Structure formats: C-alpha cells, structure tokens
Amino acid sequence: MAVVVIGAGVAGLACARALHDAGVAVRVLERAAAPGGRLGGDVLDGRPVDLGAAYFTVSDPGFAAVVSRWHRAGLVHPWSGDFTVYGTPPASPRPAPVRWAAPGGLASLAADLAVGLNVTCGSAVKDLTVLGGTVVLAMPAPQAALLLPAAAPLAEAQDWQPSLAVALRYRRRCWKPLTGAFVNDHPVLTTVCDDGSRRGDGAPVLVAHTTPAFAIESAVADVEAAVRELLELPDAAVSVAARRWPAARPTRPSESTFAQVDGVFLAGDGFGRPRVEAAWLSGRAVAAATVGNQNPKTPRTASRAR
C-alpha cells in the first residue's frame, strides 16, 4: 500500500515519518522549495528569520520525546515562559508554559523530520485523481478544499483567518528588555517577538504578527509604525521582510485529530488546539489509522467540527 502525503509541514512530515518507520511506502509532495510549511521563514540581510510559528510548546509524551532529541542535538532550546501582555489581560491567566525556539530557525526542525524520507519539493499537485493509493492532505482546510471540494464545509466550519508576519531589523537593540508580547485589543498587532532573543544571537530583529484586517502586503508600513508606537522605539527599522499566511489560524478547530473526506485524509493544526504539537499529533494519528494500529472515530464531513 502506497501513501502520498501532500504538504511537508509538521503534520505531513510526522505522518510520513511514522509510515516510513512502520515499513509503509510513502512519498511527500511539497509545492514550496523546501519543507517547513508554517515553520517557514525568510532571510533578512543575510540572517534567517522565523515568519511562521512564533514558538512551540510541549505536553504530549510522544512529542516530548521528539523535542528531547532535538534538544540533545542542539536544534532547539527553551526560550521563554513569560510574555508581556499589552492591552486587556486575560480574565483567568494560566501558568506560562515553556516556549521552545530553534537557534537555526523552526524550518530546521522540518528539515530534520524530512531526513531519510522521499520528499519532492517544488511539486504543486493540482489533481488528486492521478496520484493513486492513499492520499493525505496535510495543510489548512481552505487549501485542501482547492484540491478536494468536498472539504469546503470543513474549511468553513474551522473558520481560518489570515495573518501577515513582518520581520523588522534595526541598527541596534533600541527597546526595553523583551522576549515576546501578546497584544490584545489592537487594530494591527497580535504578537511581537524579539527574534534575537528567540534565536539566541541577540540580533536587533523583531517579528510582528497582525490581525486578519491587516493581513495584506501593503500593510507592512502600518505594522512597522504600530510596533514603533507600542514599544516606544526611538529608531525606525532599516530593513523588513514579510510573509502573508492566507490561512494562519482556525478560530474553531475541530475536536477530532483528523478528518477523512471522500476517502482522503486531512491533517494539520486545524484539529485540536492550533499549535505545532497539534499538527504533529494529527499527522501521527493519520499514520496510525492508515496502517491499522487504531480505529479512531473520524468525521466523514465537517459536521463534527466545532
């Protein structure tokens, strides 16, 4: 039995790795030039910057084992537990989790997961019917619906929102001590992270993520101005890099760990709490169902998505 996984983000690579380790023939097709998905980033003035996920947390024992291996290999480090909160604080604050970051950028973790797998990058799939075998769409549901129209109700139920990530490099570190910040009730910003702190090299780089209303490339100047006002910066950024994520986060993620629509598996961080760990768990759950190690209840439509 051959399996084709479309999407080389965390969910797709976790699925492919589990299948490969179980002796199942699997290939991964990725439209981008490199694995990563929303672990991806960019290069700003010769330095990689994280423009996807800001960090990741760990609670599942299986994912914790993977993170422990990454930690021993020097690929990740504990970054920050406490974030500054701007705007209205949460009504019931929760204990801050350990937030993990990657010195080489989060995309380096995708590269690690891809080692030894049959991954083809730069391959944009347009027709599922020519693939044959079992197909896994490891991507946000709105993207999956473009290949599988029957997944459109699931995409609508999960209600994905866009975001624009903007990296801002300054001549010097001109802000008060900061690791990261949640920005509540702001028209432009949702988070701001100190990428020099996150990566551990002290570079004078901030990365901001926007609200859906400002998730357009033309909003970069607005983002720079909003960050300068929020952090009371005396200097303007000297260079910027931006990436728009059309489907950055589901506001109503599904309770199940994956879905199966018209015989096609759907996986990603739209299942469970939207985070890196959820994507990993979703991919692993699809792999387990594919090889018959378990028989989870999976929705045939979006009717069980919340």
pLDDT category at 305 given cuts 50, 70, 90 is very low
Its sign, for the CA torsion 192, 94, 69, 25, is: negative
CATH 3.50.50.60 residue ranges for the chain: 1-31+123-158+252-306
114 CB-contact burial (10 Å; exposed 0-12 / middle 13-18 / buried 19+): buried
CA distance 97 to 60: 13
Q: Which residue has the higher pLDDT, 133 or 230?
A: 230
For residues 98 and 76, give the distance between their C-alpha atoms in angstroms, rounded to a whole number. Answer: 12
pLDDT of residue 1: 63
Please tell me the pTM assigned to this model.
Answer: 0.91
| Class of 46-106+160-250 in CATH | alpha beta
Classify the C-alpha dihedral 182-219-160-130 as positive or negative: negative
- CA 121 to centroid of chain Cα atoms: 18
Q: Which one has a higher pLDDT value, 296 or 263?
A: 263
> Amino acid identity of 112?
D
Model pLDDT, residue 273: 84
Where in the chain do CATH 3.90.660.10 domains reside? 46-106+160-250
* Digit-coded pLDDT (tens) for 5-36: 999 999 999 999 999 999 999 999 999 999 99
Specify the CATH superfamily of domain 1-31+123-158+252-306: FAD/NAD(P)-binding domain (3.50.50.60)
